[in-house]
Structure formats: structure tokens, C-alpha cells
Structure 1
Amino acid sequence: MDTASPLLFETIRIENGEVFNLSYHQKRFDQSRKALFDAEEKLALSNLISAAPSRGLYRCRIVYDREIQSIDYFPYAPKEINTLRIVPAEIGYGYKYLQRDSLDSLLRENSDVDEIIIEKKGLLTDTTISNIAFYDGETWYTPANPLLEGTMRAKLIDEGFLKRREMTKEELPRYTQVALINAMIGFKILNHFAIQT
């Protein structure tokens, strides 16, 4: 793989044959192909994942550049997350690249916690596997400038459930709950609101 043609991927939740949030995945897939590969031809994801398993919870991973490179289905078990740490890092992940070395190395460097929240230019962004949201007793807020525009985050914003706001670690005491958001776990409120700064 040369640097001019990076591979990207979509992760889609499929449960008992039902495909979740496909229109949001299709939109990001189309936008990424056009922006990075100047691809005008539309590829309908609904036609490509028709062979999805009909029983159980699966993670469908579609790897692509200008064209589809592979489609795989993996039984899904969520990662257990109880401890979080805020880690400053000036990294970019504006597209859902298959190559995640910068994210993976940050997580390895903080292996004493389950997951990290990346702080970029003084603002909270995402964990390595999800968007995030914080609850102030009335409203759920998500960082206005995430590393990656997640599909579930986009859906919850469109539905009015999430509001965007620039967020700093100094503001964390105003919030009472934290949630992780991605295509596979949906909107998952963590039982313990303990974030190391």
C-alpha cells in the first residue's frame, strides 16, 4: 500500500440479520471515496453486505479505497471499559483509516487504563475507538471537533439527542456522566465517571 492510496474501513453493526444505521455509513463511505480517491461512481453498501449472518451480533468490516477490497463478518464482544485517562496528542484521524498506528501507540503507552480520551489543542476529542459525550444533568454534549465524525454520533446529533460543544478537561467537574459512542456499542453510558487527567 502506498501513501497515495490509503485504505479505509467502515464498521457496521449487524444483529440477527438487521443492518444498523446504513444510510450514515453510506454517506461517510461516499464522502471519503470522493474526497480521497475522486470516485464518482456510487457503490451501494446494501448490495454488498447481503450475505450478512442472520443470527447473532456481528461486526461487518468493509475495507476500501476507490474500490471495495474486502468484506468480513466477525462475532462481536464489546471491550470492557472502566478506566479512562486524558492524553494530550496532536494527531489527525479525519477519515476512518485502516492504518491506526498513532492511536494504537497512544493506547499502548497508557496500558494501565482501559481507554484514553485524546486532548488536541487543549480540547477533548475522542477515545481511540469511539466518540464521547458528557451529561450535565439536563443535556448530553459531545465535543464539537472530534478526531473522526462517527456515524452513530451523527445520527444522535441529527435526532437532537446530542448537542455539540467545545470541551476542555477543566470543565469535567460540571458533568455527571460520560458515554462512549460508536457503531457497535451505540450509546453506552459508563457506570463509573472516573477520568484521570
Structure 2
Amino acid sequence: MFSLIETMRLDNGEVKRLSYHKKRIDGAIHHFKLNAFDFEDALRSYVEKNGLYTGIYRLRVEYNNDLKITHDLLEDKEEVDANVLKMAPTDSEFLEYKTTVRSQYVTTTYPFALYYDSENRITEFNIGNVVVKEADGYYTPRENGLLNGVMRQFLIDSGKIKIRDYTLEEFIELYHEKKIDIYLINSLREWVKVNLHV
């Protein structure tokens, strides 16, 4: 039996982008026909019980009609190394919803991987979405049936990033010519610069 997952940034007692996390887990609960629960109240109670009002923590919720919440201190990473891999085909519901089914998110030489799909379009990282910084702004690919991350949607809604697709060949050429910077984004770590090995 798999569980739904939400991994959140708790910053001095505040869950960042809480409404986005709630919307995503509520949608997954509805899709997988699980019992609804008060997500915000469960988090509030957990923070209060554990006195997590100072510092930055990773909060992790797992839910499959049983609720498990854990936390640990978050050590921020400023840069990571990643390579590029083709994503293996998998059941789309385990790409569109965040669950403990993670077999599709394989890596090889590096702990982080940037994927491309069967049409050679850049899609996402194994633990987050991709943002490309060009001279005229910041871009992220269309969802292409993959996970629309909380941080990604927040940045789109606030007008900080725009949608643009990249083919693998175009992406690698731009990177080699130093015309783009690449970032891994997620709601936990926010922005992390990527050194891509291609």
C-alpha cells in the first residue's frame, strides 16, 4: 500500500506555501478515494506539540488513511550536481500525484537527475521542478503529465516564472554556451543552483 506524501518547509513555526500543499494533498485524497482530514489542524498540532517555533525544518506528512508526520532540521544546499536521464514510462497517476511510489525517479552517477520525455523535452528533476534562467527571465517547461510542484505553481501564480518548453538538444546547447543557468526548485529547498554534467 502506498502513501501520499507532502514535504514542507517549516520556517520559524510557519509552513511555507501552506495553502498550496493543502490543495495538492486534498486533490490526491479525492483522486485516490481516501478519507479527508484537517491537514492544517494536524500540522498546527504537530508544530505546537514539538515546539518547532525556531529554526528551519523539513516537515513530512505520509497519509493512507493513517497519518504520520515527522520532522528534521533542514540543511540548505546552495548547489548540486546532476546529470540528464530519460524518464522510464510509468502509470501517470504516480507522476501527477506525490506518493511513496518513487521507482520512476531513478538516478545514476549523481544523486540528482534531470529528466526528458519520449519526445525529447526537458521535464523535471527527481526531487523537484526545473527553472531555467535566461537573459530575459525565468522559465519552466509545461507539466507534460508530470508533477506540478508546489513551488513551481507558486512562482507561476506570482508571475516570477513563465512557461517555455526546451528540447534536450536545445537545452544542452544553451547550457554549454553558458546562455542559461539551471535551478532545481521545490517547496522544501526553494531554489538550488544545478551544475549539470552533460
Same fold judged by TM-score > 0.5? yes
Structure 1 residue 188: Cα displacement: 2.7
Residue 19 (structure 2) aligned to one of 20, 23, 31: 23
- One-letter amino acid matched to 2:69: I
Report the TM-score, using the length of structure 2 for normalisation: 0.83
Contact 1:132 1:142 in 2 (8 A): yes
Q: In 2, are the aligned partners of 1:26 and 1:44 still within 8 Å (CA)?
A: no
2:188 to 184, 188, 195: 184
The CA distance in 2 between the partners of 1:78 and 1:100, in whole Å, is 23
Residue of structure 1 equivalent to 2:39: 45
**Letter of the 2:138 counterpart:** W
| Cα distance per residue 1:146-182 (max 9 Å; x no partner) | 5211001000000111111222121223442111110
The within-5 A match list for 1:146-185 is 147-172=146-171, 173-174=173-174, 175-185=179-189
Gaps of 5+ in 2: none
Q: Distance in 2 between matches of 1:62 and 1:38?
A: 15
Structure 1 distance, partners of 2:67, 2:39, is 13
1:115 aligns with 2:112: yes
Runs of 4 or more above 6 Å deviation: none
Give the whole-Å Cα distance in 2 for the aligned partners of 1:126 and 1:17.
29
Please list every run of 5 or more consecutive structure 1 residues that lacks an aligned counterpart in the other structure.
Answer: none
Aligned residues: 182
Does the CA-based 8 Å contact 2:78-2:192 persist in structure 1? no
Indicate which of 131, 134, 148 corresponds to 1:133.
131
1:60 matched residue in structure 2: 59
Q: Cα RMSD (Å) of the superposition?
A: 1.9
Structure of higher RCO (CA pairs closer than 8 Å, 6+ residues apart): 2
Identical positions, percent = 27
* 2:101 counterpart of 1:99: yes
Question: For the Cα contact (< 8 Å) 2:80–2:192, is it kept in 1?
Answer: no
**Which moves more between the two structures, 154-163 or 91-100?**
91-100
Shift of 1:120: 1.0
